[in-house]
Amino acid sequence: MMATAKKTNTHVDAVIVGSGAAGALVAAKLALKGKKVVILESGRSVLPPDMISSDIHARSLHWGGADAELQLTSPAIRTNFSTGAQTGGTAAHHYAAWFRLHEEDFHMKSSFGQGNDWPISYADLRPYYDRIQEEVGIAGDEKAEVWRPAGTPYTMPGLPMFPAAQMLKRGFDKMGLRTAPLPVAINTQDKKGRPACLYDGWCDAGCPTGALANPQTVYLREAFAHGAALLNNARVTRVLTTPNGKRATGVEYVDAKGVQHVQNADLVVLAALTQTPRIMFNSVTSAHPQGLSNRNGMVGKYILVHPTLNVYGLFAEETDAYQGTSIGLMVSQDDYEKDPKKGYLASYQWLLAPAAKPNGLNGFAGSRPDIYGAALDPWMKRAAKHFTHIQMVGEMIARPENRIELSGDKDEFGLPLSKLTMAFTDNERALYTHASTVGKSIVSAASATEVWASPLVNQHFMGGTIMGKDPTTSVADSYGITHEVPNVMIAGNTLFPTSAGVNPTFTTHAITLRAVEHVLAHWPA
Amino acid sequence: MDRRHLLQAGGVSFALTAAAPLSLFNPREARALDLPFKALSSDEVKIIEALCDALVPGAREAGVAHYIDHELASPAPRLLLRFAQLRGPMAPYYHNAIAAFAASLTAQGNGAFASLSPDAQHGVIEALRTGTIKPWDTGAVAAPLFYGMMRNDGVDVVYGSAEGFKNLDIPYMPHIMPQATW
């Protein structure tokens, strides 16, 4: 489908590309201050009634299908599961494990000479973690979570200990490893007009009750309550700039009918995760010959994921693993410290007892792909009652060669698609080997009768338009303001210069709140 | 999206039983009714039913071929292959792999998969799973991936529905109950 006639929309204060965690938060805070805001979301509308409890339905919240726009040059690292294009973006199906980065995560390069440094420290970010926690609500136990960086106490009691968590905790106890309730942006009690979780384990399908803090539940609602508008199926193709390239004037997008629009705005916010680098590359002008704000060639570089490992067990006792939350119930960060003497340089954590359904990427059927035929049904019946697992979320060292570039293929509007070149190295493989050995020992110590591990897999998506102090080695400053165009703000995970070893969404919110308040204080940019 | 709807739907007053815009497609019923296929040929259907049922007993009756066909005919198939992040439409990956499987059996001097003895079927599946099946058209997805596709799709229809959960004796516990089989 080729774009047809161009229409110019009414000017707004801010146009936000992407309605996920970062875009929704920016929209809410700008709208709250009276700014006229429009959000352009490339994906379809997804409302809570669309969040159907089924693994098969849930897959439609994850990026994929015939129009996947991020091509892979190697099949080893896949990103579809950790991305999504719809109202709420990836966060519409996120599992709400909300961790703070540790102080050591901000100084990877200065401490160890590898990866990058963040341009901020934990002290800079702590107030924003605290405020987001207060606004959204997080359940946890800060006393039991002995590794937790300084912060105000959690706003709700921690998750309950269903049988699977109790059994796995035995293993950690025997190994001398501490555990704590997993901090989650999931209500464990009715709070702020949102109900307590039902613990039915369907978080991956989206949470229609409002117990889990997805954008639909929290910041998009706030944005709409203050007048922000959202357009679905609005695919942004490029950022428009003044002839000298020093300011953005808005964006160009194509709607579902193929009509091309120009949306002028004082502020352009790029919060489109994997699409942010692509949009910047496609915004070539004579003033930005390598793409928007890409004179230093840094756009697209330092893509990051979290290396991941699952260690599974079957127990004599019933685990009731069908219930709980998709992320799990407990956490252990006893081996989080980065120390090259370990044989790898990375932080990692264990998540205990994620809810397990029969099918799908995280289903227990998939944990033993070698079982089939007459042996399958007895095994499935046994696993349904006695299966549980732990998951390692690990750190990947940031490397510029892990990158997004434009592909030679083009989309239906004639614009190049993007492609991802990415690989693990011996460092991530050494982390996997270590964690696999430790994890099997833990699950065995928990008295599992059978223990096995997954291959090295991955989750989450970060980097690609990293923040930094040095304009020659980063794309944006610590507020996401691009180095060359001061009224273009990048928001979200693509700003992460390193992955750390924890799930990213709480940090996404914290850096975004800090950034949007900076932008408001300096308006117009 | 209509922001009025989100404001109404996102609150605690949201009715969990609200009707959702669902496809009412049910693969088991579709098979029982012998509904026509949209993306698969009759030969492909025979291979899928025989292979999936050998991998996941019950998959044939559960309508695995209609399930795959329905998804392949949709703009964004929800089959688990989606997460392999392959380029372009999904259907050709199925067509090519099924053809590679059939051609391999023929080249080995075998008849159709369904006509093989249980032991022979087991041998073919093991070769498929381990990637040792010979010959195998390199233009198709790798043999172990095809094994995974067939097994995953079979698991979806046999165990991924409320009925499947019931057979496993675990509660489905839906927020919003699917109005189709799954």
Residue B80 structural domain = 25-167
Integer Rg of chain B from CA: 19
Task: Give me chain A's average pLDDT, please.
Answer: 95
Q: Residue A307, preceding bond cis, omega within 30 degrees? A: no
Name the minimum distance, in Å, from the CA of A113 to any CA of chain B: 34
Burial of A177 per CB tally in 10 Å (0-12, 13-18, 19+): middle
Task: Return the SS3 of A148.
Answer: coil
- Residue A363: burial class (beta carbons within 10 Å; 0-12, 13-18, 19+): buried
Burial of A268 (0-12, 13-18, 19+ CB in 10 A): buried
Chain B residue closest to A231 (CA)? Answer: B1
- The answer to whether residue B169 neighbours chain A at the CB level (below 8 Å) is yes
Q: Could you state, in chain order, the average pLDDT of each consecutive group of 10 residues for chain A (525 residues)? A: 75 98 98 98 94 94 65 79 93 97 98 98 98 98 98 98 98 98 98 95 96 97 98 96 98 94 98 95 97 98 98 98 97 97 98 97 97 98 98 98 91 85 95 98 98 97 98 98 98 98 98 98 85
Distance CA A236, CA A255 (A): 9
Fold of A4-521: FAD/NAD(P)-binding domain (3.50.50)
> Considering CB atoms only, which of B85, B165, B171 is closest to A68?
B85
Residue A226, token pair as written in the block: 């203050």
* Residue type at position B38: K
Which residue, chain included where needed, has tokens 């970062």?
A: A22
What are the pLDDT tens digits along chain B (182 aa)? Answer: 444 444 444 433 333 333 323 345 689 999 999 999 999 999 999 999 999 999 999 999 999 999 999 999 998 899 999 999 888 889 999 999 999 999 999 999 999 999 999 999 999 999 999 999 999 999 999 999 999 999 999 999 999 999 999 999 999 999 888 876 55
What is d(CA B181, CA A135) in angstroms, rounded to the nearest whole number? 39
Quick count: other Cβ atoms within 10 Å of Cβ A521?
7
Whether A372 sits inside 8 A of B1 (CB atoms) is no
Q: In this structure, which amino acid lies at residue B4?
A: R
Do B169 and A210 lie within an 8 Å CB cutoff? no
Closest partner residue to A53 among B75, B90, B174, by Cβ?
B174
Residue A448's nearest CA partner among A339, A336, A311 is A311
**Number of domains chain B contains:** 1
Q: What is the pLDDT of residue A73?
A: 72
Whether residue A467 contacts residue A506, with contact meaning beta carbons closer than 8 Å, is answered with no
Residue B174 inside a domain? The answer is: no
Q: Are A331 and A182 in contact (CB under 8 A)?
A: yes
Where b means 16+ CB within 10 Å and e means fewer, A185-215 reads bbbbeeeeebeebebbbbbbbbbbbbbbbbb
d(CA A116, CA A497): 6
Sign of CA dihedral B83, B87, B88, B89: negative
Asked, for residue B35, whether it belongs to a domain, the answer is: yes
What is the count of residue pairs from A and B with beta carbons less than 8 Å apart? 203
Taking the C-alpha atoms of residue A468 and residue A483, their distance in angstroms, rounded to an integer, is: 10
- Cross-chain Cβ contact A52/B176 below 8 Å: yes
B122: contact with A, CB 8 A cutoff: yes
Q: Do A80 and B85 touch (CB under 8 A)?
A: yes
**Predicted complex ipTM:** 0.95
How far is Cα A513 from Cα A492, in angstroms, rounded to an integer?
11
Q: Please tell me the predicted confidence (pLDDT) of residue A413.
A: 80
Question: Helix, strand, coil % (nearest 5) of chain B?
Answer: 55, 0, 45
For the sheet with A70-72, list strands across it. Answer: A70-72, A416-421, A403-410
Pairwise CA distance, residues B112 & B98, whole Å: 12
B85 with A377: Cβ contact below 8 A: no
Tell me the three state secondary structure of residue A219.
Answer: helix
Place of tokens 């990051």: A304
DSSP A186: B
Interhelix angle B143-159/B91-107, nearest 10 degrees: 110
Cβ–Cβ below 8 Å for A209 and B16: yes
CA distance A525 to A485: 9
